[in-house]
Amino acid sequence: MLYALMGLGLALITGVLNIPNFAHGALFAVGAYLLASTANLIGNFWLALVVAPLGAALLGLAIEYLGIRRLYAAGHDYQLLFTFGLALILSEAIILVWGPVGYSHLPPPVLRGGVDLGFTFYPKYRLFVMVAAGLLVLATWLFLEKTRYGAIMRAGIENKEMVSLLGIDIHKLFTAAFALGAYLAGIAGALTAPIRGLSPGMGVDMLGIAFVVVALGGLGNLLGAIAAGLLIGVAQAVVAAHWTEASSVVIYAVMAAVLLVRPQGLFGIR
> Least Å distance between CB 249 and other proteins?
9
> Least Å distance between CB 55 and other proteins?
22
> Least Å distance between CB 17 and other proteins?
30
Nearer to other proteins, 221 or 236 (CB): 236
* Residues in touch with other proteins (CB under 8 A): 100-107, 112-114, 120-123, 125-126, 194-197, 199, 205, 237, 240-241, 244-245, 247-248
> Least Å distance between CB 102 and other proteins?
5
Nearer to other proteins, 63 or 188 (CB): 188
Nearer to other proteins, 122 or 143 (CB): 122
Nearer to other proteins, 26 or 59 (CB): 26
Nearer to other proteins, 208 or 269 (CB): 208
> Least Å distance between CB 119 and other proteins?
10
Contact between residue 222 and residue 180 where contact means Cβ atoms under 8 Å apart: no
